[in-house]
Amino acid sequence: MRIRHFAVLASAALIPLASAGAAAAQTAYPVKDATLTKNALYEAGALPATTCAEKKIKANDRASARAYLDGIVECLDNTWEQHLTGAGLPFKKIRVKHVAKTPKKWCGFTTGDYNSQAYYCAGNNTLMIQLGRSWLSDADSLWLAYVGSSMYGLHVQNLVGINTAFENMSYRSKSEDMEQARRRNLQTDCLGGAFLKSVWPLDGRHSRDWRRLVGFMQGDSKGEGRWYGKTSSIKAWLRAGYATGDPGSCNTWAAPSTKVA
């Protein structure tokens, strides 16, 4: 259940999907908006190689897990500030809000009733995180580092205009709406993978830790809306970012539909 919770709550539920009022409008594939397909983010090169020291974390200990995530976010701020400002792109640090229980309404969302969840609010650049037993029970894995780095991908999308362009896209059907959402969500996985590559190897970590993290990935279950992508798609984009450490490998908007299924 831990993996499923994150797939639901750290992907399409995080920032608003394309407005339902746009459903009547027409848009043709492939995606045409240059803010999405030719964003300057893709031309800025690989993320700078930096050192990120993971803080000690204990299983089922919320305080140490919060401190761990705060440390990962500090590393993310450092890496992305260097990268974006170096490319002449805007940067603003993300704000982190830890909560014991997620409010039922926040930043325009109707939130889920889960023990572990995270939401990003594009309006105030804030990441809200609720750490519960499903994420705390296996705290020594790279899972929380992945949570932080992929969620930060939403922040990067917001900074460089991708989020606004996504929200403004029209769609002709629910399936088209879902594919657009998958392109956005899978891009955050790829950006998360690129960050992890830029700070790898983390002290005391081995390739088996990375392989274990990839094994955690789980896509949409049968019968659900196809908002997040198949397990194979999520793994492929996470690996693509990690292989190069370059956001240029994360252009899901120009990829064929088969790559974002």
Domain boundaries, the chain: 2-15+33-260
Q: Which residues contact 135 (CB under 8 A, 6 or more apart)?
A: 2, 5, 6, 65, 116, 143, 144, 147
109 DSSP β-pair partners: 106
Q: In the structure encoding, which two tokens stand for residue 140, read together?
A: 């020594």
pLDDT band at 17 (very low <50, low <70, confident <90, very high): very low
Predicted structure pTM score: 0.89
Per-residue pLDDT tens digits for 46-85: 999 999 999 999 999 999 999 999 999 999 999 999 999 9
Q: How much is the mean pLDDT over the chain?
A: 88
Per-residue pLDDT tens digits for 115-173: 999 999 999 999 999 999 999 998 889 999 999 999 999 999 999 999 999 999 999 89
Neighbouring C-beta atoms of residue 243, cutoff 10 Å: 13
